[in-house]
Structure formats: C-alpha cells, structure tokens
Amino acid sequence: MKILRYMLTLTILFSFLLTETTLTFSEDSQVFASKNKTVRFDDDDDLALFTESHTTLDFHFLDVGQGDSTLIVSDTGAAMLIDGGKPECGKEIVRYLNEAGIDKLEWVVATHPDIDHIGGLVEVLEEMDVEKVLDSGREHDTKTYQKYRKIIKDKKIDFFLAEEGERVKTKLADQVNVLNSYSDSDVRNDSSIVLQIEYGDTNVLLAGDATVVNEKDMMKKYDLESDIIKVAHHGSLTSTGSEFIEKVDPEIAIIPFDKKNTFGHPNASVVNRLRNTGADIYTTEHSGHILVSLYKENMYISKKPWTGKGRKFPTPVPRIHMANEKTYKIDKPVNINTASKKEIAKLPHISPVAAELVVEYKDANGPFRTKEELIKVSGVGKYTYKKINKYITT
C-alpha cells in the first residue's frame, strides 16, 4: 500500500510539476518546508524509503484561478474536497481526482455559497461518488447554488450543516474542528466554514473566506496556532488581521488567487503581515497546484516559496464591526413543533437551510418531545442550542 502510495505521489507530482518546476533534491533546493518540521532527502530513493515507513496526510492546494479548492487525502485513501472553484473548474477537478486514483470522496465541504467556491462542486457532485456534504447553511439566490442543492437532493447525498465548536466525524485526520460556520451577518463571507485540522504534531488552518469579524470571535474561543494556513479570501485586506496572524503564527501560508483579478488580491499589507511572522508564502498563481505532505512530525512541500510583494490597490472601505449575534426581540417563544420554516428561520443563528432541516426532522420523526432533542438536527448542535434555548418551546 505504501509503495503504491509513493508511486502515486510521484506520479501526481511530476504530472503537474514538469511543465512548471524541476523537482530536485540538492542542497540549494527549496521544494521542502524551510522551518522546524523540514524533511530533506538526497534523492528519490531516500524519499521512497521515508514514505514507505511513515503515514502521511496530503493536502493538494489546487490551482483553480481566482477561486478556492483543497483536496485532502489520507494514506488509507480517504479523501475530502473543500470547495471547487468556479463552474468551469469542475471538469478539471474531476480529471485530477481520477488521475490520482480517487473514485470516492468521504466529504465534500462547501465553505460558503459564493460561485468561486461552490461552482466546480456541481460537476464533482454529479460525476463522483460522494458520501457526505458539509455546508455552511448560508443560502444564495444564484442558479449555481440551486444546482448544487438540487444534485445533493437528487442523489440523496447525506447533507450536514457545520456547527461551530464541533468536530467533523472522519478518520481522515486526528481531529477536524469547526471554528466558524453560519452567521446572522448580512455578509456571506462571515458564514464561511473555517476548519482546523490536527495530524500528529502539525495543525493546518483552512480559513475559507472568513473575515476580520470572524477572526476576532475565533481568537476569543480557540487556540489558533497552526503550522500551515490557507489564507482567507485570496489574501484580501478583509481578512488576516495582524493580531490574528500572530496568534496563528504559521510556518507556511498558501494563497490561492489569479493575477488577472480586479480585487487587488493578494493585498501587500496582508503579505507583509505573513512575512513578518516568519511564514514562507506559496501561491497557486505562481506555482500551480501545490502539494503539502504531512508526516506525524514533519512536512514536505512540492514548490518554492513566492517572493512577490502583493498589490497596493484597491483600498477597501472599512466595514463597521458587526457582532455575529444580533439583539433579538421575540414576543413569545417559538413552538418548534408548530412553527413554519419561515418562523424557525427568524431564531438567532438559525439559517433558512437549518430551519428546513428542523421541519424535515419533525415530519420524519414526529413532534419534538423536549427542546434538547433539537440538537439531533444537523446544524443545531450544542453551540447553537445555547443561543436559541430561551426563544423556543415545544
């Protein structure tokens, strides 16, 4: 299995590296992580021997232009795909999965419904065997979002809403923790799923398009220190605040973006913040697909760090800080056994998607006997239940 995995890794590496970068193992090569967890090899044979005797978790940061897509594969073959870029990227992602020998995805994660994140997932869901989908609960009025939801229903794929503070049930890694999910904020990016993945001695923070508002909330609740960060929102100034990145203190920062974007990504200030923490920066724009292999105590990265400075425009209009939890005034508690989807969706931190699942659960299982039974509904975990408890009754 490990020899096969090694051959597969080299096949994937050379399939997208030969036209971009020559993979070498000399002293001056920078294809390996350059910090405390560095693994260096003199040649392919040494890499093969190491790979055969060590389990790994591979992160494929895919080049999907001005979009986002990350494939995670364990040495057992379990796989999770997080986002899928724009619609035109779907076929390329399916091809990449097929060439990697992946015929089944344990999880597909849609961090939020913007088209540059879920667009390619439509093709993936249509063509691949997908066990489960993890969704933010945030709806969108686009045709792409409607297609995405319809395929999930038509193929009867298990559908779950991310619940902040809970763990994703998977054997892919030691822990996959949800640090941010649905928010009542009017800004879609505030509802972006943020995952922190623990594997051996290494933590990876996948920040989606989370904003500085989310970052402030996460800093209050969680230990954010991570060796690797997938930088939020393509390096936009809306994210990656100074205090936040100091808490994360990454060794490696991955920024997915397309140089033709008109948004000024990545912002020069964000690039400076990352470098000031000592992080090496890698970008899909300059390196194409990036493979990071985690061993229990070490890591390997397939490309050289980016030396660019970022862009100094445009200057965004500062957004007024909005707390994720609004002030609610409800005349009387909402009876979750008799309320409609629309009435349930008015509860704090309950998205319309979650409200729909509450009604479906009640229709399938009968009336809720206690308020606490609501926790059994996807997207209404303990964290959300605490927020809505005083507003509901049975």
Dihedral angle of Cα 140, 143, 144, 148, to the nearest 10 degrees: 80
Decide: 265 and 257 in contact? Cβ < 8 Å: yes
The DSSP string of 231-256 is -GGGG-TTS--HHHHHHH--SEEEE-
Question: Among the listed ranges 162-166, 290-294, 380-384, which one has the minimum average pLDDT value?
Answer: 380-384
Residues 267-285 pLDDT 10s? 888 998 999 999 999 999 8
Residue from 308, 258, 256, 261 nearest 280 by CA: 308
Residues 183-239 pLDDT 10s? 888 888 889 999 999 998 899 999 998 998 999 999 999 999 999 999 998 888 888
Q: How far is Cα 68 from Cα 66, in angstroms, rounded to an integer?
A: 7
Give the mean pLDDT of 246-269: 87
Q: How far is Cα 361 from Cα 188, in angstroms, rounded to an integer?
A: 26
Q: Is the pLDDT of residue 330 over 70?
A: no
What's residue 329's pLDDT? 62
Residues 115-132 pLDDT 10s? 989 999 999 999 999 999
What's residue 7's pLDDT? 46
Decide: 210 and 187 in contact? Cβ < 8 Å: no
Q: How far is Cα 86 from Cα 66, in angstroms, rounded to an integer?
A: 8
Residues 334-375 pLDDT 10s? 999 999 999 898 888 888 899 999 999 999 999 999 989 998
Residue from 261, 259, 264 nearest 311 by CA: 264
What's residue 19's pLDDT? 34
Most confident of 54-58, 133-137, 299-303: 133-137
Decide: 283 and 266 in contact? Cβ < 8 Å: yes
Which region holds residue 36: left if phi is over 0, alpha if psi is between -120 and 50, else beta? alpha
Tell me the domains of the chain and their CATH numbers: 2-301 (3.60.15.10), 334-393 (1.10.150.320)
What's residue 54's pLDDT? 62
SS3 10: helix
Residues 15-62 pLDDT 10s? 433 333 222 222 333 334 444 555 555 566 666 666 665 678 999 999
What's residue 2's pLDDT? 43
**Quick one: how far is CA 331 from the chain centroid?**
38
Peptide bond into 333 cis (omega under 30): no
- % of the chain residues with pLDDT over 70: 81
User: Which residues, at least 6 apart from 99, have a Cβ–Cβ distance to it below 8 Å?
Assistant: 11, 12, 15
The DSSP string of 121-155 is HHHHHHHSEEEEEEE------SHHHHHHHHHHHHT
Question: Could you tell me the sign of the dihedral formed by the alpha carbons of 162, 167, 171, 172, in that order?
Answer: positive
What's residue 257's pLDDT? 85
Decide: 294 and 270 in contact? Cβ < 8 Å: no
Alpha helices by DSSP H, 156-258: 212-221, 242-248
What's residue 316's pLDDT? 52
pTM of the predicted model over 0.75: yes
What's residue 157's pLDDT? 95
Q: Is the pLDDT of residue 327 over 90?
A: no
What's residue 321's pLDDT? 47
What's residue 223's pLDDT? 95
Q: How far is Cα 361 from Cα 54, in angstroms, rounded to an integer?
A: 44
Q: Is the pLDDT of residue 10 over 80?
A: no
CB atoms within 10 A of CB 344: 24
What's residue 302's pLDDT? 83
